[in-house]
Amino acid sequence: MDEPPSWTAEHFSLANPLGQGQGDVPLLLRRAAAAIEAIGDVRILDLMLHTEVNEFGNWPSVTIYFHRDRPAQPAANEFQSRQWSDS
């Protein structure tokens, strides 16, 4: 039986600055979209919205889980063959 494919998921979390305006969810989502665009070509796996409460009220945050598509690494013997042929 073949082993199922696997990959590493990365993640980051964002929140608006603490204080007045911290509960602005549309602003938080715009910041999340800008952060995703800044990372580059990734596959978004999940977005989780969390809310804490502090002295200023609701303080939402978002955690973004993503996967980078990387080119496959050559097999060990393929790499050795290339090393010998390039020298």
- Tokens 């305006």, located at residue: 21
What per-residue confidence (pLDDT) applies to 77?
Answer: 53
Domain span holding position 43: 10-70
| 38 lies in some domain | yes
Work out how many domains the chain is built from and give that number: 1
| 47 lies in some domain | yes
Q: How many CA atoms lie within 13 A of 49 on its CB side?
A: 11
| 2 lies in some domain | no
What per-residue confidence (pLDDT) applies to 8?
Answer: 81
| 85 lies in some domain | no
What per-residue confidence (pLDDT) applies to 43?
Answer: 93
Written as tens digits, the pLDDT of the chain (87 aa) is 788 887 789 999 999 999 999 999 999 999 999 999 999 999 999 999 999 999 999 999 999 999 987 644 455 554 444 444 443
| 34 lies in some domain | yes
What per-residue confidence (pLDDT) applies to 86?
Answer: 42
| 81 lies in some domain | no
Q: What global pTM score does this model have?
A: 0.70
| 21 lies in some domain | yes
